[in-house]
Chains A and B, each alone.
Chain A
């Protein structure tokens, strides 16, 4: 049985820190990698050793597989965990890791490759009797799209997706025919840039859809178990910002059905390690459609951990070491409700990125709160990477409890200065009556944006005191002013 002696975490920020925490639990040393602007980043100091792997642009650093493997060997690692994003779903990289004699902590390269191709994945899903969204797969130009729409009687809006995509990138919704050309080119260009592959597919857009996904773990001995579902419907620009488990939309029958459908698909492809099957759920019609399989650890895995009590990164390590899953399906009893919000460094009104230095960071505490951070007070948020810098999770006996804890954590505990964050928007959302009732779709934010902004809370006394302090600083430095 192979033993993991030291792990290179081929990532930065929140995912890198998350993986390192479990490694610490297991007393497994780690190596961090960093690009030049990340030299003083949080993950670098979480690890036992750290290696500089290149300049700021991801292709020169966090997307550079060769440098990763070199760094692993140089620092005495015998395993690589990719986190999420960057190289996590790159089958070539996974293969390179294995070829270099290292342990790849993730699903086998061929499964990544298979599921990474959205077109193939959809075919496999259909074969496994999993419902899929009507669409076309091999799209070269917009004329093909128009032809398909005509033949299949599909109307706008439609969705253009990068075949190799994920995480909302290379995904463009098209409302009207005039936008088609531009959107098509944008999706291809983003796909090329993000995934190095500009193959795209086009699908019917499910209005008022809800996003539900099932977490699955499978070992190399044929045991495969689902860890129930998560709902990730609250999104902005096709990127999730609030997730919860379980889903407030599903009743128990539907929950069982969707979870076992996911399991069936994963079993069909002999999936190992941790992975997720994503569905779009039409809550009016009570119908779900297969979206894709994420062959990696996901950002929102933490809420599944909170409701099941398991450590998914730990399970990935065990599976990579060829161990058997220590539980069977009937052993999994979720008994909590958990919520996660993503703290992105963004303007909460415009979503434009806000990079800079976190001059002050106060992290929420108290019962029911879990924090997954990629930064520390004083850290820089560089402009080159994803804007996610912290995950805030809450758990309670039921949904109401979990929301209450999140309200406290976001509203009274968290304090971030120096950059703008989504926190005001996230707080408005979890306080919105429709969110509390569980009545929302993936378009919730765009539909309610003005209302949500109007709910942004008043300034706290601490903010007000800092304004006074700013004044004192200026006058102390500059002396009496002419306007006085």
Chain B
């Protein structure tokens, strides 16, 4: 065994087939029913590795690159995992925005390197991998185009109606649907409440034969006892239902909670490499295996290979220290403010950037009060709504009234929620006035939420004063517009052909299906991503992380990679000093010396105005303006009237003349070039005013 593992480590990850087979019990291509049966017949619990998605999302701001993650793939391919969550959530968006990796490339790479592993995504029921509810036709189109085996799908409102479209498309495709119930611990989240959600899910999916159920404890707040009771209750109602417990570790009680869930009958557990574990993600795979085995619960895992994967992480995890949260350490108060693992680092990042990190304790306190007033689950997009709303309130008070103001609002909310049991009328008139201003500046998404644009809230709509606070005089009108139907029923379909054309016009070429889907999810960021990749090619995929982030540092430093089956080597020769905003970098690319001119932020941009509006006349080619006007009437000047088709200037390039004609009858408002100027293609020549 050891010899084989050495081989795995040193050479092309070729693992002997017979050894691998021992642990593989599900694989891509199996029908949902076959997968569910395989789980039922396994007789052991097993793991979903979130090492390639949620681990990075929770503790490394989703910056773990596929370049590094793929080193784990050969181990995953023989560890005996149930699946690898490697896709979805915010990894999607951060991928195109920050890592400049396409989620489609990631799938292709992983399929190649771990062909026997079920690839799993995390998808929001109507928001998919974006942040707004999409119309039904977009959901249908996108879900049908993405090659994923296991679709874990949740609603932050537990509004099961919203899952319908994703469920239909996934099940029709013969892929495994894994509906998740969003889980938190609050006075209203009773076992009956959850059993009812599970019933709705089972009804939606036509039974328990072709699904597995996830309990998504995204903030990691499940009490050890309560989680066992819930799973036990579900198993009593649905004995054949396979349950996957997903629990973050922030409160420090995750492993006992997992054990409690396992004892109650959960069969699947989300874990990650021990070496990836920090404070907001999931439990360490080896520890969980050990604790389960000790408790007499057999675990399906090739432990040796899992250990190799844990070691492998250490080779590159050091490159991501910069991406870790500035707040390190566990936090049991998460059970009150309930900020989920995935949202924690990004919230801190934003607080740090916007310089209100010192307000974080106050914001977390306000969140814990807020989520008793407006009840839903703090997971995307709910966590963002909570965060933006509460950080907005605290920042407003801090700005207007300083520290005392912050203390005051916490006192006011505490009194309202804890002393007065949210009885609005029990508050003093001036306190009522203040509460009625609380949500006036709340973000649009908060307002959309309470108007039902995301679906129905889990325990009904908030009290009337919340609407008065959010909408002022308009509150009654707004209340009448509140939607009772699922957004799937009332959001108007997008015109996909029109959107595709929009993208096509922007790119100046036909976009690929993948580019179109990126554009549907995140229009602005997708365009930036496509531009980046057109300019820098596969740099995000082939460069090691230190080079990706910092480049080559010293002369002689080199980076080697393979591209399209050929070897390449880039070696730094020298980096010149900055002069007028330009740095010359000399490198050898496959031994050939090349000089790169790099503009620094201080580079003087020669400002060349381009023609944009219809009344702005641009140069059709690059050339020399050798005539302004025409031979008949001579030179033109500002204020002259020109007629449609009249020559107004002439460009010469390589001895060919190019007449610029007035596109309509017009007066010349501006002449933007001088005689004998050399102009670029598209450069603004004239501004005309149509007459």
Contacts of A397 in B (CB 8 A): none
Contact of B538 among A351, A464, A477 (CB under 8 A): A464
Assembled-state Cα–Cα distance A169/B622 (Å): 18
Contact of B547 among A189, A459, A472 (CB under 8 A): A472
Q: Is B169 an interface residue (CB 8 A)?
A: no
Smallest beta-carbon distance A436→chain B, Å: 26
Contacts of A386 in B (CB 8 A): 654-655
Shortest Cβ distance from B537 into A: residue: A467
A469 with B563, Cβ < 8 A, contacts A386-B655, A476-B575 known: no
Q: Is B287 an interface residue (CB 8 A)?
A: no
Shortest Cβ distance from A387 into B: residue: B654
Contact: A469 with B535, CB < 8 Å?
A: no
Contact of B622 among A186, A352, A459, A484 (CB under 8 A): A352
Contact: B622 with A475, CB < 8 Å?
A: no
Assembled-state Cα–Cα distance A479/B645 (Å): 52
Shortest Cβ distance from B322 into A: residue: A480
Assembled-state Cα–Cα distance A343/B59 (Å): 55
Assembled-state Cα–Cα distance A461/B570 (Å): 14
Output the residue of A185, A351, A353, A474 with the most chain B CB within 10 A: A474
Chain A, 283-313, contact with B by CB distance < 8 Å: what is the 0/1 string? 0000000000000000000000000000000
Q: Is A237 an interface residue (CB 8 A)?
A: yes
Assembled-state Cα–Cα distance A155/B260 (Å): 93
Smallest beta-carbon distance B90→chain A, Å: 16
Assembled-state Cα–Cα distance A474/B542 (Å): 16
Chain A, 446-484, contact with B by CB distance < 8 Å: what is the 0/1 string? 000000000000010101111111111111111110011
A479 with B542, Cβ < 8 A, contacts A465-B568, A473-B587 known: no
Determine, out of B28-36, B39-47, B593-601, the stretch whose residues face the partner at the interface. B593-601
Smallest beta-carbon distance A286→chain B, Å: 33
Contacts of A354 in B (CB 8 A): 622
Determine, out of B69-77, B80-88, B136-144, B551-559, the stretch whose residues face the partner at the interface. B551-559
Contacts of A169 in B (CB 8 A): 655-656
Contacts of B645 in A (CB 8 A): 178, 182
Assembled-state Cα–Cα distance A383/B575 (Å): 31
Contact: B594 with A469, CB < 8 Å?
A: yes
Contacts of B655 in A (CB 8 A): 169, 193-194, 385-386
Q: Is A350 an interface residue (CB 8 A)?
A: yes
Q: Is B631 an interface residue (CB 8 A)?
A: yes
Assembled-state Cα–Cα distance A237/B657 (Å): 11
Q: Is A190 an interface residue (CB 8 A)?
A: yes
Contact: A353 with B622, CB < 8 Å?
A: yes
Contact: A477 with B575, CB < 8 Å?
A: yes
Assembled-state Cα–Cα distance A169/B568 (Å): 46
Contacts of A480 in B (CB 8 A): 322, 549-550
Contacts of B561 in A (CB 8 A): 468
Output the residue of A182, A476, A478 with the most chain B CB within 10 A: A476
Chain B, 116-147, contact with A by CB distance < 8 Å: what is the 0/1 string? 00000000000000000000000000000000
Contacts of A461 in B (CB 8 A): 563-566
Assembled-state Cα–Cα distance A193/B538 (Å): 49
Assembled-state Cα–Cα distance A106/B446 (Å): 85
Q: For the complex, count residues of A whose C-beta is within 8 A of B.
A: 43
Q: Is B97 an interface residue (CB 8 A)?
A: yes
Contact: B553 with A353, CB < 8 Å?
A: no
Contact: A353 with B654, CB < 8 Å?
A: yes
Chain B, 594-631, contact with A by CB distance < 8 Å: what is the 0/1 string? 10101010000000000000000000111110000001
A185 with B631, Cβ < 8 A, contacts A386-B655, A466-B589 known: yes
Contact: B542 with A484, CB < 8 Å?
A: no
Assembled-state Cα–Cα distance A465/B562 (Å): 9
Contact of B550 among A178, A464, A475 (CB under 8 A): A475
Contact: A467 with B536, CB < 8 Å?
A: yes
Chain B, 552-594, contact with A by CB distance < 8 Å: what is the 0/1 string? 1100000101011110101010010000000101010110101
Assembled-state Cα–Cα distance A237/B647 (Å): 20
Which residues of chain A from 316 to 367 have any CB-CB distance to chain B below 8 Å in the complex?
350-354, 359-360
Shortest Cβ distance from A183 into B: residue: B659
Contact: B563 with A465, CB < 8 Å?
A: yes
Assembled-state Cα–Cα distance A467/B97 (Å): 19
Contact: A476 with B585, CB < 8 Å?
A: yes
Shortest Cβ distance from B597 into A: residue: A473
Chain B, 645-683, contact with A by CB distance < 8 Å: what is the 0/1 string? 101000001111101010000000000000000100100
Contact: B551 with A467, CB < 8 Å?
A: no
Shortest Cβ distance from A362 into B: residue: B592
Contact: A182 with B563, CB < 8 Å?
A: no
**A-side binding surface: helix, strand, loop or mixed?**
helix
Chain A, 378-408, contact with B by CB distance < 8 Å: what is the 0/1 string? 0000010111000000000000000000000
Contacts of A466 in B (CB 8 A): 537, 589, 594
Chain B, 97-112, contact with A by CB distance < 8 Å: what is the 0/1 string? 1100000000000000
Contacts of B552 in A (CB 8 A): 472, 476
Contact: A352 with B621, CB < 8 Å?
A: yes
Contact of A477 among B548, B568, B583 (CB under 8 A): B583
Contacts of A472 in B (CB 8 A): 539, 543, 547, 551-552, 559, 570, 587
A477 with B98, Cβ < 8 A, contacts A352-B653, A464-B564, A468-B538 known: no
Smallest beta-carbon distance A110→chain B, Å: 27
Contact: B631 with A189, CB < 8 Å?
A: yes
Smallest beta-carbon distance A171→chain B, Å: 10
Chain B, 3-38, contact with A by CB distance < 8 Å: what is the 0/1 string? 000000000000000000000000000000000000
Assembled-state Cα–Cα distance A193/B654 (Å): 12
Contact: A470 with B536, CB < 8 Å?
A: yes
Smallest beta-carbon distance B123→chain A, Å: 26
Contact of A473 among B535, B538, B549, B585 (CB under 8 A): B585
Contacts of A468 in B (CB 8 A): 536-539, 542-543, 561, 563, 568, 570
Contact: A182 with B568, CB < 8 Å?
A: no
Chain A, 218-242, contact with B by CB distance < 8 Å: what is the 0/1 string? 0000000000000000000100000
Contact: B550 with A479, CB < 8 Å?
A: yes
Assembled-state Cα–Cα distance A431/B124 (Å): 48
Shortest Cβ distance from A453 into B: residue: B509
Contact: A475 with B548, CB < 8 Å?
A: yes
Smallest beta-carbon distance B319→chain A, Å: 11
Shortest Cβ distance from A385 into B: residue: B654
Contact: A383 with B624, CB < 8 Å?
A: yes
Contacts of A477 in B (CB 8 A): 551, 575, 583, 585, 596, 598, 600
Assembled-state Cα–Cα distance A353/B97 (Å): 36
Smallest beta-carbon distance A86→chain B, Å: 11
Assembled-state Cα–Cα distance A386/B656 (Å): 10
Assembled-state Cα–Cα distance A383/B680 (Å): 12
Chain A, 181-200, contact with B by CB distance < 8 Å: what is the 0/1 string? 01001100110011000000
Output the residue of A190, A463, A472, A484 with the most chain B CB within 10 A: A472
Smallest beta-carbon distance B583→chain A, Å: 4
Shortest Cβ distance from A384 into B: residue: B654
Shortest Cβ distance from B621 into A: residue: A352
Smallest beta-carbon distance A199→chain B, Å: 17
Shortest Cβ distance from A388 into B: residue: B654
Contacts of A182 in B (CB 8 A): 645, 647, 659, 661
10 sample A-B contacts, Cβ–Cβ < 8 Å, listed by A number: A189-B631, A383-B653, A465-B589, A468-B538, A469-B570, A470-B536, A472-B551, A477-B575, A477-B600, A484-B63
Q: Sort A-B residue pairs by CB-CB distance and give the 7 closest, nearest first.
A: A476-B551, A467-B537, A352-B621, A473-B596, A475-B551, A461-B564, A471-B539
With A465-B566, A473-B587, A473-B596 given, name 9 new contacts (CB 8 A). Answer: A189-B631, A386-B655, A464-B537, A467-B538, A471-B539, A475-B549, A476-B575, A479-B551, A480-B322
> Chain A: residues with CB nearer than 8 A to chain B?
169, 178, 182, 185-186, 189-190, 193-194, 237, 350-354, 359-360, 383, 385-387, 459, 461, 463-480, 483-484
> Chain B: residues with CB nearer than 8 A to chain A?
63, 97-98, 322, 535-539, 542-543, 547-553, 559, 561, 563-566, 568, 570, 572, 575, 583, 585, 587, 589-590, 592, 594, 596, 598, 600, 620-624, 631, 645, 647, 653-657, 659, 661, 678, 681
